[in-house]
Amino acid sequence: MSLSSEDKKVLSEIRFEKASEFLEDARANLKETRLKTAINRSYYSALNAARALLILEGVNPESHSGAVTMLSLRFVKTGLLPVEVIKSFKILLSRRADVDYGDFEHITTTEAEDSVDRAEKILEQIDTLRKKLIEGD
């Protein structure tokens, strides 16, 4: 992908806004006890935040696992993000797959609350780094 620095910043902002919207959706669904949807939106919130960060490096993964791998390689292994971000991301991915594709999956309120909390923390950490990268450019 060949984008100018400015285009990467704009796309990062768009993706992070989407991540924030999905997080608000997750919170609203949790409040209304739509637990499976809260988990789904929590995961997609984290995914869009990751994509918002990765695009600043010119990386645009085409798969969910690609996003995890690239986030780990570019930002966790370099010490820019804590390893907990990847651990939480993988938990959210697993839960999202369970609720979206599992026929007999039972979700507890605790799991849904934890998913929203994990997504919130991921967004906070990614946005802090994302803003530093944008300012440093």
Residue 6's H or E segment, with its range, is helix 5-31
Please give the mean pLDDT across all residues of the chain.
94
Name the residue type at position 57. E
Contact 124, 20 (CB under 8 A): no
Contact 48, 124 (CB under 8 A): no
Asked whether the whole model's pTM tops 0.85, one would answer yes
Residue 78 carries which DSSP code? T
pLDDT of residue 3: 87
**Predicted confidence (pLDDT) at residue 137 exceeds the cutoff of 70:** no
Contact 38, 30 (CB under 8 A): yes
Whole-number Å distance between alpha carbons of 43 and 26: 9
Whole-number Å distance between alpha carbons of 57 and 75: 10
**Predicted confidence (pLDDT) at residue 1 exceeds the cutoff of 60:** no
Q: Phi and psi at residue 62, in whole multiples of 5°?
A: -95, -5
Report pLDDT digits (tens) over 58-95: 999 989 999 999 999 999 999 999 999 999 999 999 99
Whole-number Å distance between alpha carbons of 14 and 10: 6
Domains in the chain with CATH codes? 5-136 (1.20.120.330)
User: Which structure tokens are listed for 9?
Assistant: 């910043």
Over residues 122-132, mean pLDDT: 97
> How many of the other CB atoms lie within 10 Å of CB of 52?
23
